[in-house]
């Protein structure tokens, strides 16, 4: 048995992209290594369509009634995204639209739950009740028997 060190073959996969010496990379995703873009270019492009970075209030125009829903153990849609968005929206409305904004902007965080699969019936009922209560408040409906 010979003791040779493995050397990968030179091909397009490991020789195609050579980053400039002053390039910066996102260490977790390696965006720049895959696409060849510098991270600042990626940030500029993402902020063009990011809902968080494109929140705008028009003077005198009500933001629509908003109910965002998340769960504290959601591994697909991290709850911090919802919370950050609602916090930014609330701050924007409080500072720029406090005089005319009357429609509710709320977030609902389900405790000890994930993305939804396997949710107990009691949690599903509570979620639906909260949605109907939100709609009842927004639409000013009266409950009847």
pLDDT per residue as tens digits for the range 75-88: 888 899 999 999 99
CA distances in angstroms from 25 to 16, 29, 36, 45, 67, listed in the order given: 17, 9, 10, 16, 36
Query: What's the whole-model pTM score?
Result: 0.67
What does the pLDDT look like over 18-32, one tens digit per residue? 555 555 554 444 555
Chain centroid to CA 107: 13
Q: Can you tell me the mean pLDDT for 83-96?
A: 95
Instruction: Using a pLDDT cut of 70, give the percent of the chain over it.
Output: 73
In the chain, where the domains are located: 14-47, 56-139
Q: Which residue has the higher pLDDT, 59 or 5?
A: 59
Q: Exposure of 110 by Cβ count < 10 A (0-12 exposed, 13-18 middle, 19+ buried)?
A: buried
């Amino acid at each position: 048995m010979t003791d040779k060190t493995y050397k990968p073959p030179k091909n397009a996969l490991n020789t195609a992209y050579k980053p400039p010496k002053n390039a910066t990379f996102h260490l977790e995703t390696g965006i720049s290594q895959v696409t060849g873009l510098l991270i600042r270019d990626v940030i500029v492009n993402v902020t063009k369509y990011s809902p968080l970075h494109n929140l705008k209030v028009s003077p005198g125009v009500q933001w629509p009634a908003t109910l965002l829903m998340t769960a504290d153990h959601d591994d697909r849609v991290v709850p911090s995204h919802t919370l950050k968005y609602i916090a930014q929206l609330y701050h924007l409305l409080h500072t720029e639209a406090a005089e005319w904004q009357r429609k509710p902007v709320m977030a609902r965080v389900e405790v000890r739950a994930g993305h939804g699969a396997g949710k107990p019936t009691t949690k599903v009922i509570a979620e639906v009740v909260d949605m109907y209560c939100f709609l009842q408040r927004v639409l000013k409906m009266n409950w009847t028997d």
